[in-house]
Amino acid sequence: YDHKWAGGERDAELIFTRIASAGPAFIHITEYDATRPAFDAGETLAELATRHARVPVIANGQLGAPERAESLIANGHAEVITLGKSALANPDWPRRVMAGEPIEEFDFSVLQPQANIKEHEL
């Protein structure tokens, strides 16, 4: 999640403009933290996608706290947000948010990857 495109915002403009020319219905942006600038300063990747692709943007990345998710939508930087760890820890996330209930943190010890490779798969 530390990788940055070499050309920064110029690369984002080129990439999102090209993607837009293919006619997608939406773009789904996934970052480590969708609320932070995509490069050293400036706009988030979701903002850059919204500005250059001009299609609905779905954002993902550390958006489990309702205020973080709401900020992207309220500012027009995403039309939809998706959740990973927060949805696993809170399958009822929308209900919890609507009821003003606390959001549980994801417990990594609950879901450990299982690599059961069979002999014939080697």
Residue ranges of domains in the chain, CATH in brackets: 8-121 (3.40.50)
What is the rounded distance in angstroms from the CA atom of residue 59 to the CA atom of residue 39?
16
Tokens of 96: 């919890």
Tell me the pLDDT tens digit for each residue of 58-92.
999 999 999 999 999 999 999 999 999 999 999 99
> Which has the closest alpha carbon to 78: 108, 45, 32, 102?
45
Q: How confident is the model at residue 118 (pLDDT cuts 50, 70, 90)?
A: confident
Query: Strand, helix or coil at 25?
Result: coil
Between 113 and 54, residue with greater pLDDT: 54
Alpha-helical runs (H) found in the chain: 8-21, 45-53, 66-74, 85-89, 93-99
Cβ(66)–Cβ(45) below 8 Å: no
Q: Is the pLDDT of residue 14 over 90?
A: yes
Q: Is the pLDDT of residue 104 over 70?
A: yes
Report pTM.
0.83
What is the rounded distance in angstroms from the CA atom of residue 111 to the CA atom of residue 96?
22
Q: Please provide the average confidence, as pLDDT, over all residues in the chain.
A: 92
Q: Is the pLDDT of residue 121 over 80?
A: no
Residue 113: what pLDDT? 67
